[in-house]
Structure 1
């Protein structure tokens, strides 16, 4: 398992870091002023550590990337979207427990 807990993604890096990734990517949309987002931070760190090299946990600052949120139809924060093979496969809103996110992130995709 690597030392990076998560990666920060923005409008410029979203395509190659998320859509072109060779493994599942869970993206959290957050803002520094959002208290539920702050409560998600330690959960995302643990999630990234447990997922290791099997998946990626990424974060998008909603304040700095409004066009990306509009394009992806993110209407509230914290929100999370799971991407596999360049496609959105799940969307979650609000605070979520680590176990739920880990199951979602590491489960085999359905055909």
Structure 2
């Protein structure tokens, strides 16, 4: 019985890894993500909650950086921690104030709970 459970779990994990963070356009749980990833632009997925103090500190920093200067080509997608559970599951995110960074459609890094502007900028630079 344990062997069967292990094989089922391993198979499901392998399928999830091979499918990437978003399986198909039909499953586009973050609208617009697939198109941005296909275009090859750097992508930031920012998971926030309105009650999260760290998220509220991150938002103005991210807003100031993304879309201007060195980050002019970067696309940002917001995911609500409380209401977008499908996106959280596909991204394997377990906490609000999480930023997931993609380059050429592949996840390259993630950050949780960071609100220091210099650290956020350094994090985003990884996708350039």
TM range (shorter): 0.7 to 0.9
Which protein, 1 or 2, shows the higher relative CO under an 8 Å CA cutoff with sep ≥ 6? 1
Kindly indicate whether the alpha-carbon contact (under 8 Å) linking 1:18 and 1:83 is maintained by their aligned counterparts in 2.
Answer: no
RMSD: 2.3
The aligned counterpart of 1:23 is: 41
Match among 84, 91, 98 for residue 110 of structure 2? 91
Q: Secondary structure at the match of 1:36?
A: helix
Counting strand residues as a fraction of each chain, which structure ranks higher? Answer: 1
Matched, 1:59 2:78: yes
Q: Higher mean Cα deviation, 12-21 or 52-61?
A: 12-21
Counting helix residues as a fraction of each chain, which structure ranks higher? Answer: 2
Once residues 91 and 83 of structure 2 are traced to their aligned partners in structure 1, the CA distance between those partners, rounded to angstroms, is: 14
The aligned counterpart of 2:63 is: 45
Once residues 87 and 106 of structure 2 are traced to their aligned partners in structure 1, the CA distance between those partners, rounded to angstroms, is: 15
What is the total number of aligned residue pairs between the two structures?
100
What's the TM-score, normalizing by structure 2? Answer: 0.65
Kindly indicate whether the alpha-carbon contact (under 8 Å) linking 2:54 and 2:115 is maintained by their aligned counterparts in 1.
Answer: no
Structure 2 unaligned runs (5+)?
Answer: 1-27
Give 1:63 shift. 1.6
The 1:63/1:90 distance shift into structure 2, 3 A limit, reads same
Larger Rg, first or second structure (1 or 2)? 2
Give 1:104 shift. 3.0
Give 1:18 shift. 4.6
Structure 1 unaligned runs (5+)?
Answer: 1-9
Q: Higher mean Cα deviation, 51-60 or 74-83?
A: 51-60
Once residues 84 and 90 of structure 1 are traced to their aligned partners in structure 2, the CA distance between those partners, rounded to angstroms, is: 9
